[in-house]
Structure 1
């Protein structure tokens, strides 16, 4: 039986269906329908963000999105994401999404496009011209048995994000982002865009996100994003002047305990191969690897 496949631009009302497909593909990630809608509707104009959905007989079964990377000073950087429900693969849906998105990126001046794929999607990506071997590891932990948090050092006060100035959080986030293992530096993050995309995102639970404050300065932090009874660690970082004092371990362990008390049962996170210190923290907390994705790069023909 021939099934009708349609690819169209996504709208906010697609968020629930897209989030459901995402959960089917990425059981180890947590993004609510509200957060999905936020991603669709709050992109910066300069990003030239294009979100697409693929429908089979009127049912959303795939997602594709691409845009220019506006948080780096490197010109021509872009990003692309595609996922298709497991029940609808090998039908050309991913290829249709990729064709539309690559055409869009070429039209808006992208030079390099980055994407992450499951190992079983590597051949598909290679056939589209992607290459590279960067590994991103994903891990999860059930919040039933957590180690005791380290002692809070003298001069440090723990606060939840609903008790801190967003400017302090922005400063800490942008400083630590410079050390994130990546092919393009995250060195051009404007405050207003950060406020709209990160601080005001419905995925961030400010009551569970924890900061280690040294006076008015945020020395370390961990951002918690929630989806029902699951959570995702959006970012954990320590600014250089306060490293080596165990603050990342402290804030993340406290955040997980507060999440467990709030009814969260499972936590997930990701780490680049090169981020040894954070891998050590997550291993101590009991995270166990559940998936590895491959970071790939394609140069576009303009």
Structure 2
């Protein structure tokens, strides 16, 4: 049987390897994993499952203060599935999840037979559905902005301005997975090596920030962390413009696969991605289970 223990910084490489093997779209590497382990809030609980001295599964539990949900990630290396690794990780994490005072635990469930069967066996009900899509950014051509509109790299803006904008737009994510951050938490995330402020783009209208697109990059892969328009500027195509120019900048930085995940109910962003050439290549669902 696998042994479950707290994760340490020495496990970062193995953690990144398991995540990469399990997910075709999560953009994470050693440097990003190490940064997360060093800076994430104390409310985060990471554990690993070992078999014969090798890390074969990982688990991460995160409870935001005041939230009714606690978020859990469980991943088992494909060649070690059906051996009780996932069950061991879940058994270890559930008491910690219940101790937060939250009423439910939620987790992203991949759209494959193994993952769906495990989620059902562990008492999770699949609710919201997500589409994962991808585009080669080298195929995207940036349109010239209209009069009075400028595009700037996010690195040209003060971090606090970006934080305020993200706090405003993430409330509209229908999945409920985009939770508000304190400025300190944002600063930690902004310092993650996978974040590329010089690649992400902001749309300014008459000098005011109207929309932005944030990208995380690891090697030739990129993940769209957030694209959105502030409420006063919606309906004018600024989110598409920001993402379009971000993708062109990503191509210039060597990215060949730019990926995004969208709740099926997020019709405006699904339409933006489709117009930019994104094609769906995978699905996932939100699994929810009540806590005792």
Say whether the fold is shared (TM-score over 0.5). yes
Which runs of no fewer than 5 residues in structure 2 stay unpaired?
none
Which string of whole-angstrom CA distances, capped at 9 and with x for unpartnered residues, describes residues 236-268 of structure 1?
A: 011111111111111111111111112111111
Report the counterpart of residue 117 of structure 2 in structure 1: 123
Q: CA deviation at 1:215?
A: 5.0
- Secondary structure class of the residue paired with 1:281: helix
Asked if residue 170 in structure 1 is aligned to residue 178 in structure 2, the reply is: no
Asked if residue 221 in structure 1 is aligned to residue 227 in structure 2, the reply is: no
CA distance in 2, matches of 1:283, 1:157: 24
Q: TM-score with structure 2 length normalisation?
A: 0.94
Contact 1:32 1:226 in 2 (8 A): no
Report the counterpart of residue 97 of structure 1 in structure 2: 89
- Secondary structure class of the residue paired with 1:150: coil
Distance 1:135 1:264, change over 3 A: same
Asked if residue 202 in structure 1 is aligned to residue 169 in structure 2, the reply is: no
Q: TM-score with structure 1 length normalisation?
A: 0.91
Report the counterpart of residue 283 of structure 1 in structure 2: 274
CA distance in 2, matches of 1:135, 1:215: 38
Matches of residues 133-212 of structure 1 in structure 2 within 5 Å? 133-146=127-140, 148-183=141-176, 186=179, 188-196=180-188, 198-212=189-203
Distance 1:256 1:83, change over 3 A: same
Please, which moves more after superposition, 167-176 or 129-138? Answer: 129-138
- Secondary structure class of the residue paired with 1:115: strand
Asked if residue 66 in structure 1 is aligned to residue 66 in structure 2, the reply is: no
Distance 1:254 1:8, change over 3 A: same
The alignment of Structure 1 onto Structure 2 pairs a total of residues equal to 290
Contact 1:34 1:202 in 2 (8 A): yes
CA distance in 2, matches of 1:184, 1:63: 20
Contact 1:168 1:216 in 2 (8 A): no
Report the counterpart of residue 43 of structure 1 in structure 2: 40
Report the counterpart of residue 77 of structure 2 in structure 1: 85
Contact 1:168 1:217 in 2 (8 A): no
Asked if residue 113 in structure 1 is aligned to residue 110 in structure 2, the reply is: no
Which string of whole-angstrom CA distances, capped at 9 and with x for unpartnered residues, describes residues 183-240 of structure 1?
A: 4783x532222222x2222221111011112355321111110101111111101111
Q: CA deviation at 1:169?
A: 0.5
Which runs of no fewer than 5 residues in structure 1 stay unpaired?
none
- Secondary structure class of the residue paired with 1:144: helix
Report the counterpart of residue 19 of structure 1 in structure 2: 16
Report the counterpart of residue 7 of structure 1 in structure 2: 4
1:267 maps to which of 245, 248, 258: 258
Matches of residues 247-258 of structure 1 in structure 2 within 5 Å? 247-258=238-249
CA distance in 2, matches of 1:258, 1:88: 39
Spell out structure 1 runs of 4+ moving beyond 6 A: none
Report the counterpart of residue 295 of structure 1 in structure 2: 286
Distance 1:130 1:136, change over 3 A: same
Distance 1:289 1:9, change over 3 A: same
CA RMSD of aligned residues (A): 1.7
Report the counterpart of residue 31 of structure 1 in structure 2: 28
